[in-house]
Amino acid sequence: MLKEGVRAFWGAVISFFVVPAAFGQTENPFRVEIDLGQQTAYLIRGRHIVMQSPISSGRYGHLTETGSFKVIEKEPNHYSSIYGKIVDGNGRTVIADADVDMKVPSGCKFVPAPMPWFMRFHGADGMHAGYLPGYPASHGCVRMPDQRAIAFYNAVEIGTPVTVFGRTPRTNQYYRYGGQSSQRPPPWPWFNRPIGPQYQPQPRVYDSRPVYP
């Protein structure tokens, strides 16, 4: 943001603008912390938690990596280039957890997984709206409920710090090896749901929300 100043010079009043060092860039006050152990993501401003969200992070075999990162990409209508599902000619799901290297049966097709409100922070991993079964179930991404993902998306910018810490819990939903769910995961409800006006970014309202010490 340009800041206007006024200075007197030889009896005349001259207006001028102070240009930030990185023109067009303003410092983003937010940061994100992701606690894998608690399966919770926090949007933080200063020393206050502005918002928190339940998450579903990477399952065993596809764990979300811990460390200090930054948001490196934002895309509201992102699709996975690796994972998705295989459907038949009528659109019925044949394989719910598929990847691009999997053989597709005759008459079927591979449908990439939608990852709306995608915020990439490390490699292929990012935060996005998605299905939360109540335990870590993703291929490394951090899934959030729709409205929470939208709120985080509105708040962060390219370069916003993201810290991932904690140990992914192992629950009775996992096999001994590989970490797959012991039951077939339910279909992702957002696969066939269009991204309509109700999911468009909303004005920031964080300053009016209660904060937590």
User: pLDDT digit string (tens) for 150-161?
Assistant: 999 999 999 999
User: Can you list the alpha helix ranges (DSSP code H) found in the chain?
Assistant: 146-155
Confidence of residue 117 (pLDDT cuts 50, 70, 90): very high
Average pLDDT over residues 130-157: 95
Quick one: fold of 27-170+177-183? L,D-transpeptidase catalytic domain-like (2.40.440)
Sign of CA dihedral 5, 7, 12, 13: positive
| Side-chain-facing half-sphere of 199: CA atoms under 13 Å | 14
* pLDDT (average), residues 27-55: 94
Q: Is the pLDDT confidence value at 63 over 50?
A: yes
pLDDT above 60: residue 3: no
Q: What proportion of the chain, given as a percentage, has pLDDT over 70? A: 68
Question: Which amino acid would we find at residue 199?
Answer: Y
What residue segments make up the domains of the chain, in order of their start? 27-170+177-183
Instruction: Please give the pLDDT value at position 90.
Output: 82
Q: Give the DSSP letter string of 8-36.
A: EETTEEEEEEEPPSSTT-----EEEEEET
Lowest mean pLDDT among 2-6, 129-133, 157-161: 2-6
Q: Is the pLDDT score of 207 beyond 70?
A: no
Average pLDDT over residues 119-140: 94
182-197 per-position pLDDT tens digit = 344 433 443 444 444 4
Structure pTM? 0.65
